[in-house]
A = this chain, B = another copy of it.
């Protein structure tokens, strides 16, 4: 098992984060915040409360913040309440009934919503301005019931501006991201080394995942191992198959993992030899695009300029129409596709201690698909590559 530093976010840091959120709430004339997270996107609750649940299937929670009271964390898992209390620094942790109140898939939604309303009333926040963080994932059913619970409250969607408060990472967070990047590196390296004619995509996926599980990945939430013609599509279902690798196949691996709530996300391309000149050229163009983008990253630089740099080589090499979308990458931390979003015209200024994923891709009909995604820490001078796995595998 590889060495992973034993680190966790100290209570003080959580408290500072909550204070920062409340400061911004005050600036926006909000008296309280309702932060909603669920299994598919629990970054905000992890960031503020330290409570990390499985990013799979069911379970949601709300965190209620206001200047006049202790933070309250509501969970819909009454049967695991002790475990939740162990994980979080928050003192006031309560369980709503969840499926016990009203069974069936909407049961959790309804009872968490009702409990949230009742905490707002208890804290005398039923007639004030309340910012909602997580309006893009909070179910409409939840929101409609919440409004009925506290009909005189005025709710405002503040999701985007509050989620952006996480963009610059603390020293502890950077260490946690380093840890998960180490695990991702060893997984990718193991997977790529196992690529061989006659093996199936599922075999490669197994090798990759086994290495990460043995080395401390807590969740592998997706893995793509895609070979041959199928590489020409951005994503596909299923993410791996029992197709046997053939001579001359292009192949890419892309996966996402989590440890202690922090995300790893990388991809690499290889060729099951012998490769053609066209295939190698494709890989090289993606590689140069990646390198050119990374060279632009430093404190004070603009995201838009990073994207511009990444586009030059593909455009000049005749691949303009095969560049996949405008999305060159994203921040990464307690969520996968975090801010800043790396797209054209994005005015965000890069700052030290941001962590950025650069992910150029080209899908060329008749040739194949190539992608190269890596994670970088912004340093005072430029970047530090957090993934140790080499980039060229062709």
Contact = CB atoms under 8 A, between A and B. Distances in A.
A218 B213 CA distance: 19
Contact of A139 (B135, B327, B336): B135
A343 B104 CA distance: 9
A77 B324 CA distance: 11
Interface of A: 1, 39-41, 52-54, 56-58, 77-80, 82-83, 99-100, 103-106, 109, 132, 135-144, 157, 159-160, 163, 200, 202-203, 205-206, 209-210, 213-214, 216, 218-219, 221-222, 233-242, 256, 259, 324-327, 335-337, 339, 341, 343, 346
A248 B116 CA distance: 43
Contacts of A326: 99-100, 103
Contact of A239 (B109, B141, B219): B219
Contacts of A163: 105
A52 B236 CA distance: 10
B138 A104 contact: no
A239 B57 CA distance: 13
A354 B284 CA distance: 54
Copies of this chain present: 2
B210 A206 contact: yes
B213 A206 contact: yes
A144 B146 CA distance: 14
User: Considering the complex of A and B, which 8 residue pairs feature the smallest CB-CB distances, nearest first?
Assistant: A218-B238, A140-B143, A106-B136, A202-B213, A56-B222, A103-B343, A103-B341, A206-B210
A143 B143 CA distance: 10
B205 A337 contact: no
Given A140-B138, A142-B140, A203 B214 contact: yes
A235 B54 contact: yes
Given A83-B236, A135-B139, A336-B57, A1 B242 contact: yes
Nearest to A338: B105
A102 B84 CA distance: 36
B106 A159 contact: yes
Given A105-B335, A140-B139, A325-B99, A238 B219 contact: yes
Contact of A237 (B52, B135, B143): B52
Nearest to A233: B83
Contacts of A216: 242
Contacts of A160: 104, 106
Contacts of A335: 105
15 contacts: A40-B57, A54-B235, A54-B237, A54-B239, A57-B336, A80-B233, A82-B233, A83-B236, A103-B341, A105-B136, A137-B139, A140-B143, A206-B210, A206-B214, A218-B237
